[in-house]
């Protein structure tokens, strides 16, 4: 899973008058795109979405979901600051903070969150922010802003005039915050901060803006939340890192005593990271990745490499952003998983699966004979068909509960394969794709759990023999084994076994061959109802009959023969009345056109 936080703006009522950053949301978007390309289930949180409560909840959800071998990729881009250390765990007497929309998040809080992850989870955190906040840094900040060395690192469009807001920020794009964000009315903005010597003057033309929280804004936040910050530090206590069983790698945009430069495109750190990554062209481990970024940065901004929690040399030695997942997909409480039989015979009844939707109450089910078809972004139009892929979303609402049984018609279509791969996706609502996530990410399709099939196979494209009528002297009829509801009406091949005339009967229930009192136009049709006796070797079902019967999902059929053109002399049927459930059947599944309607798995996965 990955979470990408970007804040160009902060709540004015919480921080006072603000210098607005330019590249932080771009950073979040760039990191989300990178993560999606690597197979992560991504979530983006920007500006007013990124409150302290919402970010804590998102990380907590990851802690509740991820299991040993899984990975959290967390990125932050925005203002960085510091608050006085009251619990004595910092040598410099200051705790570093992220400036979230409504308040600062203290590094102690992050450490506490890390302790909630189980052993074996890998956490990679990238932080493009400043870790400075004292008034003594003011002179250094002004000198760096005008430094030609640093300015030359950016394209001309990255050097910008100051952007200052003195009003509360509106919700971006006219939307509303997600459920994780409090929707109560925000407090009225505080009075403008009086001018004082601690305030950083706006950047002059041709100067670089830094992601350092203005001291006056820091002071306003401490005035409003100082009691909370101190309480959190005392409650969390010292040496929380000793309780972290997960393995954490942090690559930050600068050292604690340095500043991170902003930009109109990306921040300098993020821009350099993306250049080194080179769309996956970088080769090396995490330490080599950090060093390659460091080598391209100015001496005024030196990205830091830091590890905490359980030592994990294997993690550090991996190629950056490498995913490994427990391919056995074993059920663990609160995680997202699905399990089913490992082997089956094709003559078996359709399989049933155990399901846990993780943090969401609703789920969808997907199964395919080609695992690569899970990779939505790399599947072309027409590659998914009813004969190689099925998603429950194509013909039913989202499911709830702890079990899922594959429909008979789907089983009949897909069981001709040697192996079937499956996964679930879960959502927070019975309709729509909110907080969508999947048990096996698209690009990790080869790790999806599977069923190995054995037994005799009959291709759904071949006509299925009804019986051995030719050998027994009885008439026989054969037709498709499975079809989609929007396919053209089916055709059947008839063997009259020497009789000159035939009739065909079709029904949604085999019992209707014997029970003529329950027949209706929507469950039964016979050629003798509206046409002459048949004399050819093929019968095409009328379109009107197909449209009436197909919604039932199953159509049973049989043929009867007679030696009389006007009566029922020597009448013989391929399936006796009392054996209707043994008659051949067409399994009718979802329409083919609807198999393209599910959204891409990664975009809404945690967006």
Of the given ranges (220-234, 257-271, 287-301, 477-491), which has the lowest mean pLDDT? 220-234
Q: What is the mean pLDDT of the chain?
A: 76
Mean pLDDT within 431-457: 84
The DSSP annotation for 371-384 comes to GGGG-GGG--TTS-
Segment 237-248, tens digit of pLDDT: 544 445 789 999
User: Is 77:23 a contact under the CB 8 Å cutoff?
Assistant: yes
Q: Are strands 450-454 and 343-345 parallel, antiparallel or unpaired?
A: parallel
Task: Tell me the pLDDT band of 207, cut-offs 50, 70 and 90.
Answer: low
- Is 50 exceeded by the pLDDT of residue 520? yes
Segment 17-30, tens digit of pLDDT: 666 888 899 999 99
Task: Report pLDDT for 363.
Answer: 93
Mean pLDDT within 45-54: 92
- Is 60 exceeded by the pLDDT of residue 229? no
- Is 50 exceeded by the pLDDT of residue 134? no
Q: Which carries the bigger pLDDT value, residue 419 or residue 223?
A: 419
| Helix extents (H) in 448-606 | 469-472, 543-549
pTM for the complete prediction?
0.48
Distance CA 513, CA 573 (A): 11
Mean pLDDT within 306-314: 88
Distance CA 215, CA 82 (A): 10
Share of the chain above pLDDT 70, in %: 71
| Degrees, nearest 5: CA angle 22-25-30 | 115
What's the chain's Rg over C-alpha atoms?
A: 33
Q: What is the largest CA-CA distance in the chain?
A: 111
Six-digit token pair at 456? 């005799």
Edge-first strand listing for the sheet containing 122-128: 42-46, 2-6, 71-77, 122-128, 247-252, 304-309
Helix, strand, or coil (residue 282): coil
- Rounded to 10 degrees, the C-alpha dihedral 455/458/459/461 comes to -160
- Rounded to 10 degrees, the C-alpha dihedral 342/343/348/349 comes to 10
- Residue 63: its H or E element: helix 52-65
Task: Tell me the pLDDT band of 221, cut-offs 50, 70 and 90.
Answer: low
Q: How far is CA 321 from CA 35, 71, 77, 309, 454, in A?
A: 8, 9, 18, 19, 38
Q: How far is CA 432 from CA 176, 426, 539, 591, in A?
A: 17, 11, 43, 20
- b/e map 496-509, b = 16+ CB within 10 Å: bbebebbbbbbbbb
| Tokens 């299925």 -> residue | 464
| Tokens 């952003």 -> residue | 321
- Is 60 exceeded by the pLDDT of residue 200? no
> Is residue 328 classed exposed, middle or buried when 0-12, 13-18 and 19+ CB atoms within 10 A define those classes?
exposed
Segment 142-166, tens digit of pLDDT: 444 445 555 555 443 443 333 332 2
- Residue 538: its H or E element: strand 538-540
Task: Report pLDDT for 19.
Answer: 64
């Amino acid at each position: 899973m990955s979470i990408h936080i970007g804040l160009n703006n902060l709540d004015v009522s919480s921080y006072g008058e603000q210098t607005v950053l330019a590249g932080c949301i771009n950073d979040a978007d760039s990191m989300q795109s990178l993560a999606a390309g690597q197979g992560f289930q991504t979530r983006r949180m920007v500006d007013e979405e990124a409150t302290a409560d919402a970010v804590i909840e998102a990380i907590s959800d990851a802690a509740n979901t991820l299991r040993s071998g899984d990975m959290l990729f967390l990125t932050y881009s925005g203002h960085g600051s510091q608050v006085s250390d009251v619990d004595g765990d910092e040598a410099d007497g200051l705790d570093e903070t992220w400036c979230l929309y409504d308040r600062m998040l203290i590094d102690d809080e992050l450490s506490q969150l890390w302790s909630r992850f189980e052993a074996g989870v890998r956490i990679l955190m990238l932080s493009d922010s400043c870790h400075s906040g004292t008034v003594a840094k003011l002179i250094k900040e002004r000198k760096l802003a005008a430094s030609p060395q640093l300015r030359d690192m950016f394209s001309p469009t990255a050097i910008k005039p100051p952007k200052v807001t003195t009003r509360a920020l509106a919700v971006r794009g006219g939307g509303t915050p997600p459920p994780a964000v409090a929707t109560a009315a925000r407090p009225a903005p505080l009075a403008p901060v009086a001018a004082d010597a601690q305030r950083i003057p706006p950047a002059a033309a041709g100067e670089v803006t830094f992601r350092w929280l203005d001291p006056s804004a820091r002071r306003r936040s401490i005035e409003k939340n100082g009691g909370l910050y101190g309480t959190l530090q005392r409650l969390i206590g010292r040496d929380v890192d000793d309780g972290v069983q997960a393995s954490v790698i942090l690559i930050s945009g600068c050292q604690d005593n340095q500043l991170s430069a902003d930009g109109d495109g990306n921040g300098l750190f993020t821009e350099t990271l993306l250049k080194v990554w080179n769309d996956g062209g970088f080769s090396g481990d995490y330490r080599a990745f950090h060093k390659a970024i460091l080598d391209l940065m100015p001496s005024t901004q030196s990205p830091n490499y830091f590890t905490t929690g359980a030592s994990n040399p294997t993690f550090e030695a991996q190629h950056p952003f490498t995913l490994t997942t427990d391919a056995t997909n074993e059920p663990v409480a609160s995680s997202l998983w699905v399990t089913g039989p490992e082997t089956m015979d094709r003559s078996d009844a359709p399989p049933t699966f155990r399901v846990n939707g993780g943090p969401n109450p609703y789920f969808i089910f997907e199964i395919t004979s080609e695992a690569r078809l899970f990779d939505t972004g790399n599947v072309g139009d027409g590659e998914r068909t009813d004969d190689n892929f099925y998603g429950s979303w194509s013909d039913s609402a989202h499911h709830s509960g702890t079990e899922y049984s594959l429909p008979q018609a789907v089983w009949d279509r897909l069981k001709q394969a040697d192996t079937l791969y499956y996964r679930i996706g879960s959502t927070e609502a019975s309709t729509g794709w909110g907080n969508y996530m999947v048990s096996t990410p698209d690009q990790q399709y080869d790790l999806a759990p599977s069923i190995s099939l054995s037994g005799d196979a009959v291709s759904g494209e071949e006509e299925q023999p009804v019986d051995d009528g030719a050998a027994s002297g009885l008439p026989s009829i054969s037709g498709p084994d499975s079809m989609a509801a929007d396919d053209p009406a089916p055709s059947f091949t008839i063997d009259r076994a020497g009789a000159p005339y035939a009739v065909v009967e079709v029904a949604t229930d085999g019992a209707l061959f014997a029970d003529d009192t329950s027949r209706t136009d929507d469950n039964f049709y016979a050629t003798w109802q509206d046409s002459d006796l048949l004399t050819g070797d093929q019968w095409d079902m009328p379109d009107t009959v197909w449209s009436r019967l197909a919604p039932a999902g199953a159509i049973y059929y049989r043929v009867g023969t007679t030696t009389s053109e006007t009566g029922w002399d020597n009448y013989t049927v391929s399936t006796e009345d009392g054996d209707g459930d043994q008659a051949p059947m067409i399994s009718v599944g979802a329409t083919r056109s609807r198999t393209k309607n599910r959204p891409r798995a990664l975009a809404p996965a945690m967006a």
